[in-house]
Structure 1
Amino acid sequence: MRSALSRAYRGVCWYLRELTGESAYDRYVTHVRRQHPDAEVPSRRDFERMRTERQEKDPRQGFRCC
């Protein structure tokens, strides 16, 4: 019973992280470390800033109502 609840809890957590975009930084860090091992990994704050700027430049990247 506990393992089923544990799996369900992990599944819900994974789903919410994907839904909110919380896991985007983790995927980006993994990508940079694999593809560009000598490159410096930006901080989460810098990553979010770059992501927001990219979305604002190209409306197809994300929906902004305001």
Structure 2
Amino acid sequence: MSAPARLRAIVARTWRAVVWYVREVSGEARYEHYVERFTREHPGEEPLSERAYLKAREEHERLHPNTSCCC
């Protein structure tokens, strides 16, 4: 593999890692994790739509606030 090809591979791998990290930290990947787990634990059943999932999650967070200190 030539040096430019190796460099492109390193940059691409680094970019994928940064995108993965940002999606995990921001919570953007939560729905995908929910679908993966739901599919594994409830085969043959239909998971909530992304909109319904976000609404249910918001309702749960409203009813169960995290009052612990973040520091």
Instruction: Return the TM-score normalized by structure 2.
Output: 0.80
Structure 1 stretches lacking a partner, 5+ long:
62-66
The runs of at least 4 aligned residues of structure 1 exceeding 4 Å deviation read: none
Structure 2 stretches lacking a partner, 5+ long:
1-6
State which structure, 1 or 2, has the greater radius of gyration over its C-alpha atoms.
2
Between 1 and 2, higher relative CO (CA 8 Å, sep ≥ 6) is seen in: 2
Separation in 2, partners of 1:18, 1:31 = 16
Aligned residues, how many? 61
Instruction: Return the TM-score normalized by structure 1.
Output: 0.85
Question: Over aligned residues, Cα RMSD in angstroms?
Answer: 1.3
Separation in 1, partners of 2:57, 2:26 = 14
1:44 has 2:50 as partner:
yes
